[in-house]
Amino acid sequence: MADVADLAAERCETILQAGLAHRKPTVRLPACGECHYCGDDVTGERIFCDSVCARKWNHEQERLRRNGR
């Protein structure tokens, strides 16, 4: 017989699985030979020229997401 803790754990698992099933897919930027933020040339599979551009791009994307875009 399930006690209150078991029922709560089952409910949490159900809610978690439902949330995971309805999440938006993660966008993966392609490596194109230039920084996706500033446009400088990059080598290999890099998508940003440095961590500053990566942070700025992420910050900008987060602002756009919060504003509904």
What is the tally of structural domains in the chain? 1
Residue range of the domain that includes 23: 4-66
| Secondary structure of residue 33 in the 3-state scheme | coil
Q: Does residue 58 surpass a pLDDT of 80?
A: yes
- Number of alpha helices (DSSP H) and beta strands (DSSP E) in the chain: 2, 0
Using a cut of 0.85, tell me whether the model's pTM lies above it: no
Q: Does residue 1 surpass a pLDDT of 80?
A: no
